[in-house]
Structure 1
Amino acid sequence: MSTRDRVADGLYGLGWSAVKKLPEPAAEALGRTIADTAWKRRGQGVRRLEANLARVVPDADPTRLAELSRAGMRSYMRYWMESFRLPTWSAERVRDSVQINDFHQVTEGMAAGRGVILALPHLANWDLAGAWLTRTLDIPFTTVAERLKPESLYDRFVAYRESLGMEVLPHSGGAAFGTLARRLRAGGLVCLVADRDLSASGVEVKYFGETARMPAGPAMLAQQTGALLLPVTLWYGPSPKMYGRVHPPVDVPQTGTRAEKTSSMTQLLADAYATGIAEHPEDWHMLQRLWLSDLDPRHPRGATS
C-alpha cells in the first residue's frame, strides 16, 4: 500500500472512529469548519464544483457561484458527518430525519410483485435514505459500490453500508449486473447512484444543455427484468431533516432497438436528476468532471477531477 493510500485509509478510519463519538453540536461545527476551510483554499475539488454549478445556474454571477459552492461544501461535509455517525443513530432518529414524497410508487410496485429500481444522482445523503428504507420501512435492498483504493478503504465502505442493512456488490468484476437482475426478478429492490459513468458503456445524454455520460445499467436492468424504474432526488432541509421525491416511472419504450431504448430511458433519468439538482443545487455533491467537454482525453471516463 502506498503512503497516499495509507493516509487516506487512516483519515477515513479516524472519521468513523472519532467523529461518531462527538456530541452532535460539536460534529456539526467540525463539519462546517472543514467545509469552510476547504472552500477558502479553493482546491481542485472546490473549483470543479463551482464550474459544474455554473452549468446548473447559468445566470449566476461570480458572487452567487461562490455562495453556492460554499453552501455545496457545507452540504458535502454534512453528508460525511452524518455518514460517520449514522451507524450509531437509533431507528427513531433515522425515521424522523427523512421524508420522501410519492414513495407510494415504490411500495405499490413491490406489492404487485414487481422488482423496483431506484436511480439517484449525488444529491444530499443517499446513505441516510438507504438506512431509512432498511430501518424505518424494513425494506432490504441491493446496491453497487465502486471499488476504491486502497482496498481497505473499499472494505470500510462495504462494512459501513452493510451495517445499515444494505447488500453491497462491487462495481467491477462483471458479476453485479446478473445478481441485480436476479434480485429484481424475485421482486426485490435495487438502489443505484447513477449520474456519472464509471464504465466504457456509458450513455450520452444532454444534461443542462451539454453532453455527459451516464450509466446504462438502470435502463438495461428495467428492460431485461420488467422492473419498475423510478428516479429519486434528495435535498437537505434544516438539520436534521432530509427530504426526497420519487419521480414518475421511466417506462420502457414500445419500439426501437435495445440501444435506442436504453438511450431514451437514460435521458429521462437525466432529465429527472436535472430537475432535482436545479431546485437544490447546493446539495449536489459533484466535485469531479462530468461533461464530456471537460474530460481530459487521457482519462476518457473522467476518473480524475
Structure 2
Amino acid sequence: MRGGLSRSEAMFYVYVALSRVALTLPEPLAYGFARAAGGVAFRVARTQRTQVEKNLARITGHPIPSAELRACVKRAFESYARYWLETFRHVRETPEFFLERFECEGLQWVDEARSRGSGVIIVGAHLGNWDAAGAWAAASGRPVTAVAEVLSPRRLFDFFVAHRERLGISIEPASAGVIGRLKAAVDEGRMVAIVGDRDLRGRGPQVSFFNEPAPLPAGPALLGLRTGAPIMVMGVYGTRRADGRRGWRAHILEPIDPAAYSGPHALTELTQEVATRLERLIAVHPEEWHVFQPFWSADRPARPS
C-alpha cells in the first residue's frame, strides 16, 4: 500500500489494540464484549459466514438454510471472539489460574508415556482454546513445544511468539527443517503439540473427514513415523463453572502407535486415523471449531496441474 500501512501491518496494530482492551475490562464485561463482537462479525462477515455454514453443515447434518444451522454458526463466531479475548488476557494470569480453571480427561495416557521416558506427540484442532491448554500444561509441569504458522509482518509473528512463550509454551516456526527440530524435541522426551486439522497449502494426504475428501497436514503422522512416539489426539472446549466463571476442559483420546503403520501408504493411513479421532472430538462441540476458511477439497480452488 503506497504511502500507508499494508493490510498485514494494520492487523498488527489491531491485535495490539485489542489485547490492551481485553486486559482493561473486568472479566464479566470482557466476555460480554466478546460475545457482542462475535455477533456483529456474524452479521457483517458474509463471506466467512457462508463458508462456516458449509463447514458446519457437513458436521452437524443441518440443512442449508435452517434455523438450527444459523444458530450454530452464530455460536461459532461468538466462540471465536471469546478465543481471542481469552488469548489476550492469558498473559495477566498466574500458573495457579490455569491449574484452577483447566481440567483434562485422558491425562493418564500422557503421564504413562512420559514415565517411560518417551516423547509425546499431541495433535489438536482449531477447537476451543489451544493456548489455554499449553499454559495449563506448562503450569502442571508438562511443558510443550508447539508449532506456529509464520505470519506476516514478522513483528506480528513475534508478537504471538512472545505472548505464548510468556505462558511457558516453546514455539517452533513452521518453516524449513521444522520436522527435524520437532524430532529432536521428541527424542529428548518432550511433548510436542501440532494443530493437525488445517492444511494451509492443500498438499497433505487426502483423507475422509466427515464423509468427504479433505487434505490434512502430514506433519503429525510424519513425526510419529520418524520418532515412533505415541500420537495422542486432543480436543479443548470452553466451560462455565458453577460460580459462573469461564474455564476449559480437554479430552485426550487413547494413544495411536505409529509402529502399527508401515508400507507405502503408512503416511496416509496414519493421517486418516488422526482425522477419524479429530472427527470424534469436533463433533462434540462443532460450534467451537474455528475454521472459517475452505477446508474440504470440494470447496478449495483447483490446483494448477
Query: Normalising by the residue count of structure 1, what TM-score does the alignment of the two structures yield?
Result: 0.93
From 272, 290, 303, give the equivalent of 2:277.
Answer: 272
CA distance in structure 1 between the aligned counterparts of 2:192 and 2:28, rounded to whole angstroms: 34
The residue correspondences of 1:285-296 to structure 2 (distance < 5 A) are: 285-296=290-301
User: Is residue 32 from structure 1 mapped to residue 32 from structure 2 by the alignment?
Assistant: no
Find the counterpart in structure 1 of residue 151 from structure 2: 148
CA distance in structure 2 between the aligned counterparts of 1:199 and 1:45, rounded to whole angstroms: 19
How far did residue 299 of structure 1 move? 8.6
CA distance in structure 1 between the aligned counterparts of 2:89 and 2:38, rounded to whole angstroms: 17
CA distance in structure 2 between the aligned counterparts of 1:43 and 1:8, rounded to whole angstroms: 20
Find the counterpart in structure 2 of residue 21 from structure 1: 24
From 230, 252, 256, give the equivalent of 1:250.
Answer: 256
CA distance in structure 1 between the aligned counterparts of 2:109 and 2:78, rounded to whole angstroms: 32
User: Is residue 58 from structure 1 mapped to residue 64 from structure 2 by the alignment?
Assistant: no
Find the counterpart in structure 1 of residue 77 from structure 2: 73
How far did residue 297 of structure 1 move? 2.2
Q: Report the CA distance shift for 1:28/1:16 in structure 2 as closer, same or farther (over 3 A).
A: same
CA distance in structure 2 between the aligned counterparts of 1:157 and 1:165, rounded to whole angstroms: 13
The residue correspondences of 1:210-289 to structure 2 (distance < 5 A) are: 210-238=212-240, 239-254=245-260, 256-257=262-263, 259-289=264-294
CA distance in structure 2 between the aligned counterparts of 1:143 and 1:108, rounded to whole angstroms: 21
Secondary structure at 1:241 match in 2: strand
CA distance in structure 2 between the aligned counterparts of 1:149 and 1:51, rounded to whole angstroms: 28
CA distance in structure 2 between the aligned counterparts of 1:196 and 1:3, rounded to whole angstroms: 26
Structure 1: which 5+ residue stretches go unaligned?
301-305
Secondary structure at 2:246 match in 1: coil
Q: Is the 8 A contact 1:36 1:70 kept in 2?
A: yes
Output the aligned Cα RMSD. Answer: 1.7
Find the counterpart in structure 2 of residue 113 from structure 1: 117
The amino acid across from 1:184 in the alignment is V
Deviates more, 1:214-223 or 1:109-118: 214-223
The amino acid across from 1:85 in the alignment is R
Q: Is the 8 A contact 2:121 2:194 kept in 1?
A: yes
String of CA shifts for 1:7-40, please: whole Å, max 9, x gaps.
2111001122231121112211110111011112
String of CA shifts for 1:110-130, please: whole Å, max 9, x gaps.
110011000001100000000
How far did residue 236 of structure 1 move? 1.7
How far did residue 187 of structure 1 move? 1.0
Find the counterpart in structure 2 of residue 195 from structure 1: 197
CA distance in structure 2 between the aligned counterparts of 1:162 and 1:255, rounded to whole angstroms: 34
CA distance in structure 2 between the aligned counterparts of 1:142 and 1:195, rounded to whole angstroms: 18
Find the counterpart in structure 1 of residue 180 from structure 2: 178
Secondary structure at 1:297 match in 2: coil
Query: Normalising by the residue count of structure 2, what TM-score does the alignment of the two structures yield?
Result: 0.93
How far did residue 95 of structure 1 move? 1.2
Secondary structure at 1:285 match in 2: coil
The amino acid across from 1:218 in the alignment is P
CA distance in structure 2 between the aligned counterparts of 1:40 and 1:193, rounded to whole angstroms: 28
Q: How many residues align?
A: 297
Q: Report the CA distance shift for 1:76/1:253 in structure 2 as closer, same or farther (over 3 A).
A: same
CA distance in structure 2 between the aligned counterparts of 1:277 and 1:226, rounded to whole angstroms: 26
The amino acid across from 1:278 in the alignment is A
String of CA shifts for 1:80-109, please: whole Å, max 9, x gaps.
000000010122221122111011100110
How far did residue 200 of structure 1 move? 6.0
Q: Is the 8 A contact 1:114 1:226 kept in 2?
A: no
CA distance in structure 2 between the aligned counterparts of 1:279 and 1:132, rounded to whole angstroms: 22
How far did residue 185 of structure 1 move? 0.9
